[in-house]
């Protein structure tokens, strides 16, 4: 497999400000935050993007969302609300080819996204 930035963060080869880790997921601060809280939640297993998911990944993706809820609550985002974003591919704005969920909060978000 080609080198992957987020796999290197999972292994500790590249440092990141870690917020949460369990056997399936890792959460760390985005290096270029676009909101007062901007976290990235990734599966520890390498998955390129949303379209690489198979039917066997349904549980993993359900747990991903539940983990995002838990992390958002711990980060104090429940009262004000928050936004979860998964960019997929070039038009979706995906720049790192390891599936990741953005957890954004701490300010009011606008719509539509740019
Ligand atoms: P996306 O554009 O959806 O692929 O999101 C990739 C995100 O990864 C961007 O928000 C980047 O700021 C973030 N990012 C890139 N390199 C790092 C890094 N070394 N540590 C933390 N976040 C990073």
Res. 30 pLDDT band, cuts 50 70 90 = very high
- To the question of pTM greater than 0.95 for the whole model, the response is yes
Please answer whether residues 82 and 104 qualify as being in contact, where contact means their C-beta atoms are separated by less than 8 angstroms: yes
Distance, CA 21 to ligand 1 centroid (Å)? 18
The residue to which tokens 């987020």 are assigned: 6
The predicted-structure confidence for 61-95, as pLDDT tens digits, reads as follows 999 999 999 999 999 999 999 999 999 999 999 99
Work out which ligand 1 atom sits closest to the CA atom of 100: 3
Q: Which residues form ligand 1's pocket by a CB distance below 6 Å?
A: 5, 14, 16, 30-32, 40, 87, 93-96
């Amino acid at each position: 497999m080609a080198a992957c930035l987020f796999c290197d963060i999972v292994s500790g080869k590249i440092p990141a400000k870690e917020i949460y880790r369990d056997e399936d997921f890792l959460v760390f601060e985005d290096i270029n935050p676009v909101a007062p809280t901007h976290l990235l939640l990734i599966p520890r297993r390498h998955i390129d993007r949303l379209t690489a998911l198979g039917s066997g990944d349904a549980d993993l993706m359900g747990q991903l969302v539940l983990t995002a809820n838990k992390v958002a609550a711990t980060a104090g985002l429940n009262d004000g609300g928050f936004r979860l974003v998964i960019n997929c591919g070039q038009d979706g704005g995906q720049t790192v080819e390891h599936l990741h969920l953005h957890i954004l909060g701490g300010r009011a978000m606008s719509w539509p996204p740019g």
